[in-house]
Amino acid sequence: MTGPVSSAQWQPLLAEDMARVDAIAALVHAGLPERQAVLAQKRDLAPATCLKLVLAETIVGYGLAHPWMLGDVPPLDAFLTTLPPSPDCLYVHDVAILPQVRGRQAAARYVAILAAQARTLGIAHLACVSVYGTVGLWSALGFEAQDDPGLRAKLSSYGDSARYMTARI
Ligand X SMILES: CC(C)(COP(=O)(O)OP(=O)(O)OC[C@H]1O[C@@H](n2cnc3c(N)ncnc32)[C@H](O)[C@@H]1OP(=O)(O)O)[C@@H](O)C(=O)NCCC(=O)NCCS
The residues binding ligand X (CB under 6 A) are 28, 95-97, 102-107, 130-134, 136-137
Residue closest to ligand X, measured at CB? 107
Nearer to ligand X, 6 or 86 (CB): 6
Least CB distance to ligand X at residue 155 (A): 12
Q: Compute CA 114 distance to the chain's CA centroid, rounded to the nearest angstrom.
A: 10
Answer whether 101's CB lies under 8 Å from 34's CB: no
Distance CA(47)–CA(103), nearest Å, equals: 26
Spatial contact of 21 and 50, defined as CB atoms under 8 Å apart: no
Nearer Cβ to ligand X (133/150): 133
Q: Which is nearer to ligand X, 3 or 47 (CB)?
A: 3
Q: How far is the CB of 76 from ligand X (least distance, A)?
A: 11
Distances (CA, A) of 61 to 5, 6, 69, 99, 166: 17, 16, 26, 9, 22
Shortest Cβ distance from residue 28 to ligand X (Å)? 5
* Shortest reach from residue 161's CB to ligand X, in Å: 9
